[in-house]
A and B are shown apart, each in its own frame.
Chain A
Amino acid sequence: MSSESNIEKVDNINSEERVSVASQGQLIWWRFRKHKLAVFSAILLLLLYLTTLFAEFFATSDPLESEAFRGLIQPQPIHFFDEGKLSPHVCAMEGTRDPYTYKKTYKPNCDKKTPVEFFTKGYEYEWLGLIPMDRHLIGVPEGYLAEEHIFLLGTDIQGRDMWSRIWVASRLSLSIGLVGVTLTLIFGISLGGISGFYGGFIDTIIQRIIEIIRAVPTIPLWMALSAAMPFSWSIVQIYFSITLIISLFAWTDLARVVRGRFLSLREEDFVTAAVLSGANERRIIFRHVMPSLYSHIIAAVSLAIPLMIISETALSFLGLGLQAPAISWGTLLQGTQNVQSVALYKWLMIPAFPVVGSILLFNFLGDGLRDAADPYSD
């Protein structure tokens, strides 16, 4: 058989030119696209992260401004029409104190209307900490009293607007996931990779460390570590030490996955082939083993971020993580630590919704990614 005739014989790969030259990334993307729920979640999450950049723009009032006159106001709907005309407004809340229980109750008084404007001027803030701005998506024109404001999701005990606080909190809570995951990735991949690739004594040591870390009960340890943080630290310092503490525990999972993959990839024929053709260790690791890990890493990350978010929320809720005046979903939920709020001020639990929602979205996304991530599985 001459090689000419061979060429003719082998030539029937016309199935799909597009697929033949598709790289790993493209194949993953094609498979991911088919996962409607995951794509939907990805878009929502992307929007969510985008909005955190503009959190103050969405806020209606200064999240830190407390006002005793307006403590614990219930959520207040916007009325869009006034006597048939389009004129968005909210009714002013009038508080009366119950003479027996001393509980303050608010009633909307629709005779006193506060107009609601879009793209209005409001409190001043620095966008991304750099550019001073005072525009907001919705707000109340200047000249109204503090209690004649708009409280879309009510106020907390100190009279701070929940709607605004949730928006601002999302920035810390969502970003802690990303920062934490980056740290986790660095620890997990390097330690897991070393463990799996070199094996032997180093592997045993790293595996024992992982086992010890996983055996430590986390909550007491978190308590100890956060107690060790000096009071004088700024919010930023505390924020980073919290992410560090969380990721110190979270890397073990990823390290195990990476180690397992390294172990099995080391035995793959194509890795052996590369070794036998004279490739050095660096090339084996970065050209052959690591690219085969990307899919696992993507999947691990999409599952690690929600874990980070939950951990931060749990820590802050327990008073071990971020502390007031820092605003995160966890610190907001601290306000619900009593029966009273559960029974009477239900809107204080609203910050739980973005937590649950974002974690669900991450899990849907993770599911889709995991299915799509290994395009060579079948």
Chain B
Amino acid sequence: MTTKNKKDDSPILEVTNLKKYFPIQKGIFKKIVGNVRAVDGVDFSINKGETVSLVGESGCGKTTTARCIMRALDPTSGEIKFKTKNNEIIDLSKLSKDEVRPYRDDIQMIFQDPFSSLNPRMTLFDIVGEPLLVNGMKAKKEREERVSEIMHQVGLRPEYMMRFPHAFSGGQRQRIGIARALSINPSLIVADEPVSALDVSVQAQVLNLMMDLQDQLNLTYLFVSHDLSVVSQISDRVIVMYVGKIVESGTPKQIFESPKHPYTSALLSSVPKADPRLRQERIVLKGEVANAADPPSGCTFRTRCPNPTDDCRDGNIEMGLIEVSPGHWVDQCCVNCG
């Protein structure tokens, strides 16, 4: 998939046909009886300086995709081409755990839970300075300077460097998590639901911070979220996933103002609007999210689609994205049923 983009035309990350299956094992001999197809053939690319969001409901594979890119999980198949700082293009999916390590300083992650993602037994200096230390900055003085600089940048007082995380609130901890991710100057940040665990007012502070930092440091974000309002706020491009597959992608304007896929429309209409005068009839989907261990043949959404074509209903159409307008891609089965 290629997209024209305003910021920079060279993709920093290109994911092609990424698959991650989790085997279902049974019995004492751990016989594999099936696979949970958490991610089942995902293609997308992110350009330098862009924010691309993966949205979808729980179990759609958005977090698994992010973790495969981070190589916290080993992908089953597919390519993850990443352009390093030296403009070298590597395929992260083909590297072993040890071979990936030298590139870790270029991709960092922000976690969802500000409590479990910080080691309670380490001071802020140790937490934020860890990526620096393990990537070769051994001199303590140098690390202290860098940590204090980055703490300042994320809005924390450098004097708090020797404190432990338990002294901080959720929002402040999330800032610490951001500082840790940024300390070694990565070019790509994978943010896995970074604001979902925060209260509304804190959420806004952290979102603003992330946008500011992006502008200052020319960061590229892969933003994973279930919250469409947050996504609309921060993204340049939005990718909607359903049961391991991409069903629609495009700019926020395309996705939120003229969604083509019935799933996107249903998602949008389900988001409660913070205005009682805008109460409206919702598109309520029938049934439940398909089982990723045994997805329907053809279009995975056909069992819930309000208006499927005959071929689609019978599962005769394979899924595949087609471009309906520049940069707006929709799954081919559902182009006409949205």
Seen from chain A, the residues whose Cβ lies within 8 Å of a Cβ on chain B are 1, 3, 6-7, 9-11, 13, 15, 19-24, 27, 268-270, 272-280, 283, 287-288, 291-292, 376
Contact = CB atoms under 8 A, between A and B. Distances in A.
B105 A278 contact: yes
19 contacts: A3-B153, A7-B157, A10-B156, A13-B163, A19-B166, A21-B123, A23-B121, A24-B121, A269-B112, A273-B111, A274-B134, A276-B107, A277-B184, A278-B105, A278-B135, A279-B130, A287-B122, A288-B119, A376-B120
Given A276-B109, A277-B184, A268 B116 contact: yes
A272 to B, nearest CB: 6
A72 B116 CA distance: 64
A277 B113 contact: no
A13 B184 contact: no
Given A13-B169, A270-B116, A274-B134, 17 more contacts: A1-B205, A1-B209, A3-B152, A6-B205, A10-B157, A11-B157, A13-B168, A20-B164, A21-B162, A27-B166, A272-B111, A273-B117, A274-B119, A276-B107, A276-B109, A277-B135, A278-B101
B116 A277 contact: no
A356 B63 CA distance: 55
Given A20-B163, A278-B101, A280-B134, A6 B119 contact: no
Contact of A276 (B104, B171, B209): B104
A275 B112 CA distance: 16
B155 A277 contact: no
B163 A7 contact: no
Contacts of B102: 278
Contact of B72 (A10, A272, A288): A272
A376 B166 contact: yes
A378 to B, nearest CB: 10
Given A9-B155, A24-B121, A292-B121, A277 B130 contact: yes
B134 A279 contact: yes
A138 B203 CA distance: 73
Interface string B102-142: 10110111011100111111110000001100110000000
A191 to B, nearest CB: 22
Given A19-B167, A277-B180, A10 B135 contact: no
B232 interface: no
B77 interface: no
B72 A277 contact: no
Contacts of B105: 277-278
Contact of B180 (A23, A273, A376): A273
A289 B55 CA distance: 33
B299 interface: no
Interface string B145-163: 0000000111111001011
Nearest to B107: A276
Nearest to B167: A20
Given A10-B157, A270-B119, A275 B72 contact: yes
A262 B268 CA distance: 42
Interface string B170-187: 011001010010001000
B60 interface: no
Contacts of B71: 276
Nearest to A5: B155
Contact of A277 (B122, B134, B153): B134
Contacts of B205: 1, 6, 9
Interface in B192-210: 205, 208-209
A1 B134 contact: no
A277 B104 contact: yes
A313 B164 CA distance: 45
B166 A276 contact: no
Interface in B248-269: none
A63 B21 CA distance: 72
Contacts of B292: none
Given A9-B205, A13-B172, A20-B167, A278 B104 contact: yes
Given A9-B205, A276-B72, A277-B180, A24 B116 contact: no
A353 to B, nearest CB: 41
B132 to A, nearest CB: 9
A37 B210 CA distance: 50
B70 interface: yes
A202 to B, nearest CB: 15
A347 B160 CA distance: 63
Contacts of A291: 119, 121
A99 B105 CA distance: 95
Given A10-B156, A278-B104, A273 B120 contact: no
Contact of A7 (B135, B155, B180, B212): B155
Contacts of A268: 116
A21 B111 CA distance: 24
A191 B140 CA distance: 35
B338 to A, nearest CB: 37
Contacts of A19: 166-167
